[in-house]
Copies of this chain bind each other. A is one copy, B any other.
Amino acid sequence: MAGNRVTLKDIAKSLGLSMATISRALADHPDISSETKLRVRDAAQALSYIPNYRARYLRAKHSRLIALIVPEMGMFFTPSMITGINRVVQANDYSLIVFQSDNSLVQERRLLEYCTHLSADGVLLVLATETSDLDHLALLGECGIPVALLDRTIDTTRHTTITIDDEAAGHEAATYLLQRGHERCLGIFSDERQRISASRLKGFRRAHFERNVPLAETQILRVAMIADLDGLLDRAFAAHPDVTAIFTMTDELLVHTHHLLARRGIKIPKDVSLMAISDGQAPAFLHPNVTHLRHSGVEEGERSAHILIGMIEHNSDAMMDVRIRTTLVELGSVAIRSQPARRRVTR
Contacts and interface: CB of A to CB of B under 8 A. Distances in A.
B100 A97 contact: no
A80 to B, nearest CB: 7
Interface in A245-287: 255-256, 258-259, 262-263, 281, 284-287
B255 A285 contact: yes
Given A74-B79, A86-B100, 19 more contacts: A1-B315, A1-B317, A2-B141, A3-B61, A51-B117, A52-B58, A52-B119, A54-B54, A54-B58, A54-B118, A73-B82, A75-B80, A86-B98, A90-B100, A95-B97, A96-B97, A96-B99, A256-B285, A259-B287
A100 B89 CA distance: 11
Interface residues of A, number: 57
Interface string A126-146: 000000000000000111100
Nearest to A145: B1
Contacts of A48: 142
Number of copies: 2
30 contacts: A1-B315, A2-B141, A2-B143, A2-B144, A50-B116, A50-B117, A50-B143, A51-B117, A53-B117, A53-B118, A53-B119, A54-B58, A54-B63, A54-B118, A54-B119, A58-B58, A73-B83, A73-B86, A75-B75, A75-B79, A78-B79, A95-B97, A95-B118, A96-B99, A97-B97, A256-B285, A259-B284, A259-B285, A259-B287, A263-B287
A27 interface: no
B72 A83 contact: yes
Contacts of A57: 54
A287 B113 CA distance: 44
A155 to B, nearest CB: 23
A345 interface: no
Interface of A: 1-3, 5, 48, 50-55, 57-58, 61, 63, 72-76, 78-80, 82-83, 86, 90, 95-100, 113-114, 116-119, 141-144, 255-256, 258-259, 262-263, 281, 284-288, 315, 317
Nearest to A65: B97
Nearest to A55: B58
Nearest to A141: B2
A267 to B, nearest CB: 11
A211 B197 CA distance: 54
A82 to B, nearest CB: 5
Contact of A100 (B5, B83, B116, B286): B83
A120 to B, nearest CB: 10
Contacts of A61: 3
A269 to B, nearest CB: 14
Nearest to A287: B262
Nearest to A110: B90
